[in-house]
A and B are shown apart, each in its own frame.
Chain A
C-alpha cells in the first residue's frame, strides 16, 4: 500500500502571541517549529499501515526551505521519502496550496492508495485544503477520523463531531483526515534519526498564484478577562465562591 501524508510546518506558539512589525505574521524569533498536532497522528497511522501491509510512506509539504527540518523528523519515525514544495516563506491561500499539492501528487508515478491529512492546521484554520485535494483527484473523503480500519481496499472510519459518532465506509483510493486520539505518535529513535539523514527529499518550486483569500493583517484577540480574582486557597475559599454563584444568579 502506498500512502501519502500532507504536513505543514507551524511555529510552536504558546498562549501569548507577538506579531511582526508589519502585523502580517507571527514573530517567530523566539519560537521553535513543529507540525500541526493531528498530523503527527497521520504520520503514525501511515507508519503503522506500512509496517503491517508493506508499501511506501511519502511525506508532502508546502513551505519554506526550513520545512525540511519537519520532514526529517517525520522521516525518522519511519516514512520513506519526502517532497518539499518550496515557497518564499509567505502564506499561500487555500486554493493555491491545494492546487500545488494536487500538481505534485499528479506528477508522481506512485498512485497513492491513501492520502492522509491532519483534521485541521494549528495556524490558518481554513478547513478546506483536504476537500479541495480530494475533489481535484476525484477521490472520496472522510474527515475527523478517530478510528480507522483498512482491509481489502476498504476503509472503515469512525468520525466524532460534537456529540455524534458516525461510522463510515469508503473504497480506496481515498482521502482521510485524522485527529488526535487515533493513535499515540511515537518519538523518533536515534537510529531512526541517523537513517532519516540519508532518506531522499525532493525539492520543487511551484508557481505562486494570486491569492483569492488575501491576508491583509493580523491582530491579537483581546482577552475578555483581565485575569482571575483569587478567592482564596483550598476549602476555606468555598464560601466566597458560593457568594459568587449567588451574584451571577446560578444560585438563588
Chain B
C-alpha cells in the first residue's frame, strides 16, 4: 500500500496532490490518502476519484491550520500502524516540509522532488537538484520509502474507486505545539485568478521598471482571463505581493500561455515557469537567458509592446 499525503489549506485542495496520487498509482493498486485536520474530510470524493480507497482524516483539537510538526507526528503514527511501502506527497514547500518531519521522527531518509520512483531494495529515484536544472539518480536505503513528487513531473489522471473515510485521533508531543499560529492572510494575490489555476499568466520582471507599469500587465491578464505573475526581484523590491512570485522559491506554474515581460530568466525563475505549454518573451535584450526556454519572442520595450498587444486583442474580440 502507498500512503499519499493530500495537502489542503482549510479544506481547499492543493492540486499538486492529485499528481502525487497519480504517481502513487504507478507504483501500486492499493492507495490510501491522508489529510491532516478535519477540514480535509471534505476532500474524500476527489481522493476517491483519483484512486484512493481509504481517506484517513488525522484529527486533533490543536490541528486547525498548517502545523507541519503535528503533520509529521500524524504521518508517523499512520505509517507505524498501516505499514505502507511508501509515503508520498507533492513536491511543494508544504509537502516537502511535512514529509521531512515524518522522515526525521522515523529516522529514515527522504528523497525530495522525485520525477521517477522505483520501489525496491534499495529504492531507486530520479530527483531534481539545482532548481531542476540537474537531475540526480539516487538510491534510497530504507524499508519505507519517503519521497515527494516533483511538481508537474506527472499529469494528474482520474481513476475512480469507492472510498471510505477513517478518522484517526493523533497523539501529539508537547514539542509539536511549541509553534503557535497567531493569524494569517494579509496579502493575497492582486489579480483575480490564482497562479496555480490560471491558463494564462502575464509575468513581469525588473524591466517593468516599477509598480505603476504593472497596470499594463494587469490589463492584458484581465483581457485573457489570466493572472499576473512576477520575478523575485519584483517582490524583493516590494512592487508586487509575494503571492505573485513565480519561481523555485515562489509558485511553480504550468499555464497554457506564459508571457514573460522584462524578465531576463534567472535559473530560479525558469524553474518555476518552464513547464508552461507556450512561453512568449517580450524583452529588449535578444541575449536574455530566458529566450533559450521560450517558444516565441518579441525583441522590444514591453511598455510599448504590451499596450499594442492589448489593443490588438481587444480589436479581435470586437
Contact = CB atoms under 8 A, between A and B. Distances in A.
Interface stretch (A80-88, A195-203, A234-242): A234-242
A166 B274 CA distance: 28
Taking chain B's interface residues, is the majority helix, strand, or loop, or is none over half, making it mixed?
mixed
Interface string B93-104: 110110011011
B257 A245 contact: yes
Contact of A162 (B138, B243, B248): B243
B136 interface: yes
Interface in A26-73: 26, 38
Of the candidates A132, A156, A212, the one having the most CB atoms from chain B within 10 angstroms of its own CB is A212
Given A120-B249, A163-B189, A231-B297, A225 B292 contact: yes
B253 to A, nearest CB: 11
A221 B66 CA distance: 33
Contacts of A214: 122, 138-141
Contacts of B4: none
A234 B298 contact: yes
Given A140-B179, A164-B9, A168-B181, A123 B309 contact: no
A244 B113 CA distance: 33
A215 interface: yes
Interface stretch (A1-9, A107-115, A142-150, A186-194): A142-150
Interface in B182-196: 182-189, 194-196
A3 to B, nearest CB: 19
A181 interface: yes
B135 interface: yes
Given A223-B292, A228-B294, A235-B300, A242 B181 contact: no
B236 interface: yes
B316 A221 contact: no
Interface in B238-253: 242-243, 248-249, 251
Contacts of B178: 139-140, 170-171, 174
Given A125-B131, A143-B97, A233-B299, A166 B109 contact: no
B270 A238 contact: no
B105 interface: yes
A136 to B, nearest CB: 8
A220 B313 contact: no
Contacts of B294: 225, 227-228
A245 B291 contact: no
Nearest to A177: B97
Taking chain A's interface residues, is the majority helix, strand, or loop, or is none over half, making it mixed?
mixed
A212 B249 contact: no
A128 B136 contact: no
Contacts of B69: 140-141
A219 interface: yes
B181 A13 contact: no
A55 B68 CA distance: 31
A181 B295 CA distance: 31
Contact of A213 (B140, B257, B299): B140
A201 B138 CA distance: 34
A150 B214 CA distance: 35
B200 interface: yes
A159 to B, nearest CB: 9
B94 A161 contact: yes
Contact of A230 (B103, B111, B179, B286): B286
A250 B200 contact: yes
A232 interface: yes
Nearest to A249: B256
A167 B133 CA distance: 33
Nearest to A170: B179
A106 interface: no
Contacts of B301: 234
B186 A165 contact: yes
8 contacts: A127-B110, A132-B100, A160-B242, A163-B251, A212-B142, A228-B294, A229-B297, A230-B297
Given A215-B138, A229-B296, A230-B298, 14 more contacts: A15-B266, A15-B270, A128-B104, A131-B101, A160-B242, A165-B243, A166-B184, A168-B179, A181-B236, A221-B128, A227-B291, A237-B305, A238-B298, A241-B298
Q: 5 shortest A-B CB distances, which residue pairs?
A: A140-B178, A127-B96, A212-B109, A234-B300, A128-B100
